[in-house]
Amino acid sequence: MYDEDDLLPISALNQLIFCRRRCALMLVEGQWADNEHTALGLLQHGRSHRQETESRGDLRICRGLRLRSLELGITGIADVVEFHRSDANRESAVALDGIDGLWRPFPVEHKKGREKPDQADEVQLCAQALCIEEMLDVHIPAGALFYNASRDRLEVSFTEALRHTTIRTAQELHQLVERGQVPPAEPSRRCRGCSLHDACTPDLAGKDATASRYIELLLQAILDNQETPP
């Protein structure tokens, strides 16, 4: 069990899967830089993080719900948690204050782009579900990812395998922060859209970078800058 003071952001699980170095630059060194992707993401999250509840018949939509798991040591704010009226048993539904019946929670995470090839978004969503399960003592079998660019809403089953990956990623996140070291860069296509590219210098900080290669690339970078017109 973690203390409240040791909780790490749920969104960092997504960063860790995207790139360990980026995650460490943010959490260990406190680096942050916006580009058009992150700025748009923050704007869209700002919209969905205003805390409010909406009723639509047998559906309650709760936006901006604060989440935490002391077991996993993570905290965050859910974009949306839907509560569907349910005749399911108490194991997968909860009572809501001032409303009759039982309600089945269903987390929905909004993403600005399109579906990604890795499991980062699924893990982030599953982490939210694990928080809600711990907070409300309920079982959540599924949730959804909503991609703003494509308008696709993809249902995600919280399988044993996904739960296991999420728990392991949360453990790795805490280990990364405890070590307090930024791992070497592993340059790849994802670096092109990374807002921390300038802070990271992936071509200079790769694990295969030798001192002579470092100096060669540094000199080249200086020469390139000198050739750049003001």
Is residue 108 near ligand SF4 by the rule CB under 6 A? Answer: no
Number of neighbouring beta carbons within 10 Å of residue 163: 16
> In angstroms, rounded to a whole number, what is the distance separating the alpha carbons of residues 198 and 23?
15
Taking CB under 6 A as the rule, which mask of x and - marks residues 181-220 in contact with ligand SF4? ----xxx--xx--x-xx--x-x------------------
> In angstroms, rounded to a whole number, what is the distance separating the alpha carbons of residues 206 and 63?
41
For the bound state, the minimum distance from the C-beta of residue 29 to ligand SF4, rounded and expressed in Å, comes to 11
DSSP-derived 3-state class of residue 230: coil
Task: List the interface residues with ligand SF4, window 5-34 (CB under 6 A).
Answer: 19, 21-22, 25
The number of residues making up the chain comes to 230
For the bound state, the minimum distance from the C-beta of residue 45 to ligand SF4, rounded and expressed in Å, comes to 20
Instruction: Select 15 or 69, whichever has its Cβ closest to ligand SF4.
Output: 15
CA atoms within 13 A on the CB side of 163: 13
Instruction: Select 10 or 196, whichever has its Cβ closest to ligand SF4.
Output: 196
Contact between residue 141 and residue 125 where contact means Cβ atoms under 8 Å apart: no
Residues that bind ligand SF4 (CB under 6 A): 19, 21-22, 25, 185-187, 190-191, 194, 196-197, 200, 202
